Structure 1
């Protein structure tokens, strides 16, 4: 039990420790949500997929029109627009890129993206508040262990998920959609639906590797910083 009345400094220290341990939960949320938000807004990732999987041949769209489609998707995810509306040129004629089923699915995807943004904002606020309190009290060393544990926990979780995904990515990707969406609108026809032509299965595997690599780098960095400060505290 914290005795704030009889030992205020000790009581505040205990409270700081509790707040500090929030980093164990904040760290994975902050890293993962931040990287996912970055990936959804990183147009070169989209264009990498277009080039690697020769999407221009599959869709009949020029590279400039594909870039326009990528920008349209990114703008949509960051707008208040309920439904996406992207018109491109094909063979000199304008046409709406996505059909009704794809539009409805993208609305669901946008919901997940906005949820990720919310997690990112709240985890950033949490990290900022805890850090500010520790800095103000000149007890930043209290964050060393939580950072180490949070970073290493993120790395372990990432490795477990990567192992499952590497075993059978198609099954992993299917299960992700089944858990993330309450409908089957994500089941698209690659012979007619442009959304799946723009982003074939191979793209999502590559994008997952890209995201996992960035998460791993940031998690390793946080773990190292926590470990380095732990050594400084105990030296």
Structure 2
């Protein structure tokens, strides 16, 4: 039982973070918010409907078995291939990270369900309270640490993230000609990070508060 309780503590941060990241990558309003917030229509010359089409194409690609993305939009009344070869290769790398996140979410969700089912079957659901509390607390502590580092210099943090996540330099794109950067400028990623951190914090804080109250009630 002690091993199971430790497992719950470890599973919870991974489950919360991977779940929120997966949600963000599939949340179309987040893409559309960025398009409007940073006037991407003006930057790219694409209409709102074509930008939404591009966002849907990206979401579809991340959830497909396709190795390379291929999105064609209408620009100035003519078909236009949105991404060049370098952008396509980078998006392939991004998809690998998204797939890894999906896998972590699925595994932790299944493990969490199995552990919860076992403890409930043993009629000892209160054993989940303390591990859930610490899992939420650890998530909050990690979030505060990462947020503090990112807030001190987001550009440096974002660059370092790319250096650690990718084994190549395909992520170094030109904002004057590469549409991936035009669609998602630096400001968008900062806003998206705040959105993701806010959701993680909200879920972790809610879990921590709820389980803390139960710990107090149960002594």
TM bin, normalised by shorter chain, reads over 0.9
Structure 1 vs Structure 2 CA RMSD = 0.7
1:64-100: CA deviations, max 9, x gaps? 0000000000000000000000000000000110000
Matching residue within 149, 172, 181 for 1:196:
181
- Confirm or deny that 1:45 pairs with 2:45: no
1:213 to 183, 198, 215: 198
CA contact (8 A) 1:21 1:143 kept: no
How big is each residue's C-alpha offset from its partner over 1:43-82, in whole Å with a ceiling of 9 and x where there is no partner?
Answer: 0000000000000000000000000000000000000000
- 1:191-225 residue CA offsets vs partner (Å, 9 max, x unmatched): 00000000000000000000000000000111122
Shift of 1:134: 0.8
The unaligned stretches of length 5 or more in structure 2 are none
Q: Number of matched residues?
A: 219
Quick check: which has more Rg, 1 or 2?
A: 1
8 A Cα contact 1:147 1:225, kept in partner = no
For residues 118 and 226 of structure 1, what CA distance do their matches in structure 2 show? 27
Corresponding residue of 1:125: 110
Give distance in 2, aligned partners of 1:226 and 1:181: 38
Identify the residue that residue 6 of structure 1 maps to in structure 2: none
**Partner residue of 1:75?**
60
Partners of 2:3 and 2:170 in 1: how far apart? 44
Structure 2 Cα separation of the partners of residues 50 and 98 of structure 1: 17
Could you tell me which runs of 5 or more consecutive residues in structure 1 were left unpaired when the two chains were aligned: 1-15
2:7 to 22, 39, 43: 22
| 1:216-231 pair list within 5 angstroms | 216-231=201-216
After the TM superposition, list the runs of 4 or more consecutive aligned residues in structure 1 that deviate by more than 4 angstroms.
none
CA contact (8 A) 1:56 1:62 kept: yes
SS in 2 for 1:121: helix
> SS of 1:94's equivalent?
strand
SS class of match (2:67): coil
